[in-house]
Structure 1
């Protein structure tokens, strides 16, 4: 089974590309979705988050208070490392389990949808290839504001915490342009990638 990492900055369209590849028969392993599940009510990370950060960062449903954590991380960067030390091993474990299950089902391609692939020191070595979905920072900003309702300063803060466009492109084996492309044009790029990997 070929292991393809798909990444891109916030608002780039990486998950859209990953979903298109899944529609062609790839196994879609979504690190972001796994991270949300372990920080959801009764998620595997909640007890450790409560112990490390206190009840103030657990919302009324028993999930991670994402807005509160975002504010804390921007004010105190060391808090990001503490949170990642809790969440990342759990995400890694579940990612490995999903990949093993996909291989057992006979998938020829597994797509690892990884937001912080370029920032990670370990992911590139675990993958056979990396596809980076690329667009300008301004496009990322406008798309993210439109879909999330976050203000410009908040989105800029998120983008500043991620790898730069140049850093992402530096780890790419495949660059997928998604600046002014329609969904049909992005689908055509996804179809070409799928064909390269035998789907």
Structure 2
């Protein structure tokens, strides 16, 4: 059973991903893979530097994530060029991990930009972690120390809430307590196991 897991920034997707792993799912985290494929010395990092220049490197030779973020969140064309480098590498690495999973596993691909990437149809099910936009903003301001403008600009750079909900097989509302969330995750995981 191949499952896509997504949700907007500050929706609680990472928490849901961790809960699914605790329940027995094999979780493949696209964010971790995205870091891996542009680690120092990789062909991925070399391609990013070729496209954007040395200004996206730290003095130690690693990708300077804040500098890269400042470029791509201010310029949709730059973001598209970066994604064209990183997404195929992440997809290939994720496929390698999936091939190693047991045949009867629920394999969850944790993909923040699933709605944007147009790959929802390649999964047996899509789980969307959902909160209202205002909750996303409140969490980023409170938990990450961002300004309201920074939070709203990150949200605007992603698919809309409606676009994510349109691809959902299962929706996990994350506006309640952690225990509420755990109960919803357990219900969805049971449904995924049954469908597998």
Shift of 1:168: 0.6
Per-residue deviation, residues 115-147 of structure 1 (Å, max 9, x unmatched): 0111112x2121001111110111111212333
**Unmatched runs of 5 consecutive residues or more in structure 2:** none
The alpha-carbon distance between structure 1 residues 178 and 75, as it changes in their structure 2 partners (threshold 3 A), is: closer
Query: Helix, strand or coil: the match of 2:116?
Result: coil
- Taking structure 1 as reference, are residues 40 and 146 closer, same or farther at Cα in structure 2, changes over 3 Å only? farther
Aligned-residue offset at 1:65: 1.6
Aligned partner of 2:108 in structure 1 is 111
Question: In structure 1, how many angstroms separate the alpha carbons of the residues matched to 2:65 and 2:192?
Answer: 37
Distance 1:166 1:29 in 2: 25
Q: Which portions of structure 1, spanning 4 or more consecutive aligned residues, are displaced by more than 6 angstroms?
A: none
Structure 1 partner of 2:171: 175
Root mean square deviation, CA, Å: 1.5
Q: Which residue of 2 aligns with 1:128?
A: 124
Q: Which moved more, 1:33-42 or 1:49-58?
A: 33-42
Partner Cα distance (2:42, 2:104) in 1: 28
- Mapped to 1, the partners of 2:141 and 2:32 lie a distance apart of 20
Q: Unaligned stretches of 5+ in structure 1?
A: none
Task: Give, in whole Å, the separation in 2 of the partners of 1:188 and 1:44.
Answer: 42
Task: Give a deviation string over 1:59-102, Cα, whole Å, max 9, x none.
Answer: 12322222212222243321111111110110000011111111
- Provide TM-score, normalisation by structure 2: 0.92
